[in-house]
Chain A
Amino acid sequence: MSSTVIKVESLGKKYNLTKKSSMAYGSLRASFAMCAKRAAQKIAHPFATRNSSESASSKDEFWALRDVNFSVEQGEKLGVVGHNGAGKSTLLKVLSRITEPTTGRVSIKGRVSSLLEVGTGFHYELTGRENIFLNGAILGMRQAEIKRNFDAIVEFSGVEQFLDMPIKYYSSGMTVRLAFAVAAFLSTEILIVDEVLAVGDAEFQKKCIGKMDEVNRKDGRTVLFVSHNMSAVASFCARGIMLKQGSVCETGNISYIVARYAGSGGNMGSSASFPAGMHGDDTVDLIDVRIEKESGQGAVDFAITEPIKISMKYRVKKENASLTPGVFLTNSSGTRVLLSTDAPFDSDGTKKAHSGVYIASCVVPGNFLNDGMYSIELWMTTMTQTVSHFYVPNALSFIVLDDMENTPTRGAYRGQFSGAVRPLLEWSSEKISSL
């Protein structure tokens, strides 16, 4: 017997945009009008096939999912990534039976509990306590089964004080915490978590990832995890699929998927070149930028231990220009992690560049950045005159991955590390006296 728990075959989901726009709050009149129109057409052209009218309306169709195929094995941690509108949420909605597919088939073994988008399956008039039972009942559980997990749910979500208050008075953070706890503790075979962790604070996110890891390892539950937080996906999942315009465009190892995701956002990849005059002025022009591993091979994914070499090629068009190249790194939460310039090697601003093509490069050492996505901004300045020759935001992105296994900064701890950087600092501890 195979251990596949979810099998998705040529799944498609079509939305009709006409219905969405003009008939979203469908009025009878519109429907009657449509019926009348069809009838009139039929009378006018009794032998016409429906083709003509269908092709006319086909441009109003939108395939949120198209020919999606993948399968998930028992106990797997699958990450689903993709840019906004790639179909992630629709896929999860189909998997949790909220909406019906237009084509294809999904086979599922076991019960599915899901936590979709920001909202939750709560009844807002009910109290927290009642909602826990309601959600259990929705999953087809018996009272006794729910009672067994009740205390753990309450403890994890930290809403003890508000248990007998209707959910409508809860803050969004409290609601999500309770929703996650309900989904995670009611022991279904499959757990689906869609970008909900965005609402909770950093500490709770860590707690959630830790809990998801626990239910996966201890109970062997299969977890599908959707997030835009690549470091969370990369550290939690083992395998991933990437959706693009409603189809699976990549499947594989999570670090590969995350790297593909990082590389798919427009001008990203391991290198980018710029046409003359796009970034620059009459003194200097940016030609290209490249990120590579120690070996010189271009890459966007780096193990946390690996150094990252960033080099930019530029053309100097004036003699005796005083130029200082610089690099900014910004992490996925928008925090500027660092600015590094060539300045320390040109403290008096006297290092002159002559016309020609130059490559400036810097190396970000291994065991320095924390895991996560970083975007590179490039900067060229004349420091003595405070002139900025070019500034290129989002020139490239790369991702730092922590595989948890050979990470000297981590030790035995398996949770998420906080902080913008994670340098390998020198530590010492010595006994200075007895008790």
Chain B
Amino acid sequence: MKYCENKSDESFTLKFKLAVLKALKGSDGDDYYDMIIEPNKTASAFLIELIRYRELFFFLAWRDILARYKQTVLGVAWSVLRPFCAMLVFTVIFGRLAKFPNEGVPYPVLVFSAMLPWQYFSNALQESSSSITSRSAMITKVYFPRIIMPTSTVIVSAVDFLISFALLAFLMLWYGFFPSSYIFFMPVFFILATISALGIGFWMSALTVKYRDFHHIVPFMVQFGLYISPVGFSSSVIPAQWRLLYSLNPMVGVIDGFRWCIQGEESPLYFPGLTASSLVSLALFWSGAKFFRRTERFFADFI
């Protein structure tokens, strides 16, 4: 368990500050060498590395976007088709058969406004989790900040998100439903979904390098998560005393947020729950990034 043994005593924020200072100042006179390779050395905070390697970051993201539906017949239609079919199934099962409350919103819109962030989250999570192992050829041959891999794959899912957002707009038009003005808060919840996906993605991609078990765990998590997150139903069906506990699932806050943006006061925001979800997301993101940074040095040895 070599991963556990490298305890860094400096805090992440301190390192980040130092790295920012160094990046702003440029190389100072007395450090003659550009790069020192030492055991247990974390180069610089990952945001700095992302900025320095932005060309690579955008290149990989752009290329993945192009390649995503390259050898497919339906092409981009896939990014619309999948959430659309899922929405149909959920509408029939939960809306028609189980007769869950629809909060005065057409049930397809209710489902789809949750399906959007969920699809985004699950795509981003799956892509970023396998991003390291699926590119072992590059990992073992060239150096670049490994964190670029899981991070850039999220961009691809974000593009998918935007495409299927158009479908949501179309659905609302179809049902003659006008979204609330809270829709301008949507980017906040989009970012929250990104942070959750990345946080778990960092954990999973780093763990998969050493333990291929996680390769099997991620699809399971995604499948399971679809049913325990309020995608097919509104989270108002959860008994009030369990609602805070339920909100520990980071996607609960995100999905509730999306519903609130679209339905407005019809689907009031449960603030304690949102706070809990956000805190869990941030904790996952922070710890995931830290774990990733600590273990990335061994990727080439274990992959």
Contacts and interface: CB of A to CB of B under 8 A. Distances in A.
A60 to B, nearest CB: 13
Contact of B142 (A2, A94, A108, A135): A135
A414 interface: no
B53 A31 contact: no
A105 B55 CA distance: 29
B142 A121 contact: yes
Given A133-B59, A143-B55, A97 B37 contact: yes
Contacts of A123: 63, 135, 137-138
A134 B59 contact: yes
Given A100-B39, A105-B36, A124 B140 contact: no
A25 B210 CA distance: 7
Contact of A109 (B1, B32, B301, B302): B32
Contacts of A122: 137-138, 141
A138 B60 CA distance: 10
B56 A138 contact: yes
Interface string A16-35: 10010000011110010011
B32 A98 contact: no
B99 interface: no
Interface string B123-161: 000000000000101111111100000000000000000
A409 interface: no
A311 interface: no
- Chain A interface size band reads 35 or more
Contact of A142 (B41, B55, B297): B55
Contact of B35 (A1, A99, A107, A135): A107
B300 interface: yes
B10 interface: no
Interface string A90-113: 000111111111111111111100
A27 B36 contact: no
Interface string A116-130: 110111111110001
Contact of B34 (A109, A133, A137): A109
A98 B143 CA distance: 5
A140 interface: yes
B37 A94 contact: yes
Interface residues of B, number: 38
Contacts of B35: 97, 107-109
B142 A96 contact: yes
Nearest to B4: A35
Nearest to B134: A125
A106 B301 contact: no
Contacts of B300: 93, 98-99
A358 interface: no
Interface string A131-151: 001110110111100000000
Quick one: which of B35, B143, B300 has the most chain A CB within 10 A? Answer: B143
A114 interface: yes
A150 B211 CA distance: 40
Nearest to A30: B211
B96 to A, nearest CB: 42
Interface in A295-333: none
Interface string B36-55: 11111100000000001101
B140 A119 contact: yes
Contacts of A35: 1
B143 A101 contact: no
A15 interface: yes
Contact of B211 (A2, A7, A28): A28
Interface in A57-100: 93-100
Interface in B60-87: 60, 63, 67
Interface string B252-277: 00000000000000000000000000
Nearest to A136: B55
B58 to A, nearest CB: 9
A120 B141 contact: yes
Contact of A138 (B33, B39, B41, B142): B142
Contacts of B40: 100
Contacts of B55: 137, 140-143
Nearest to A25: B212
Contacts of B60: 134
Among A101, A116, A142, chain B packs the most CB atoms within 10 A around the CB of: A101
Contacts of B143: 96-98, 138
Contacts of B37: 94-95, 97, 100-101, 105-108
Contact of B39 (A15, A34, A102, A133): A102
B213 interface: yes
A25 B300 CA distance: 13
B134 to A, nearest CB: 10
B138 to A, nearest CB: 5
A102 B302 CA distance: 15
Nearest to A117: B141
B141 A98 contact: yes
Given A100-B298, A102-B39, A130 B140 contact: no
Given A140-B53, A143-B55, A101 B141 contact: no
Nearest to A15: B301
Given A126-B63, A134-B59, A103 B39 contact: yes
Given A26-B302, A105-B36, A130 B212 contact: no
Given A121-B142, A134-B56, A101 B63 contact: no
B1 A31 contact: yes
Nearest to B210: A26
B142 A105 contact: no
A119 B141 contact: yes
Nearest to B142: A121
B230 to A, nearest CB: 31
A125 B70 CA distance: 11
A7 B60 CA distance: 33
Given A15-B301, A114-B142, 14 more contacts: A2-B32, A26-B211, A27-B212, A34-B1, A95-B37, A98-B143, A104-B39, A105-B37, A106-B37, A108-B34, A123-B137, A126-B67, A133-B59, A138-B144
User: Top 9 A-B pairs ranked by shortest CB distance?
Assistant: A121-B142, A97-B143, A137-B56, A121-B141, A100-B297, A107-B33, A106-B37, A137-B55, A26-B210
6 contacts: A7-B33, A25-B212, A106-B38, A109-B34, A109-B35, A137-B59
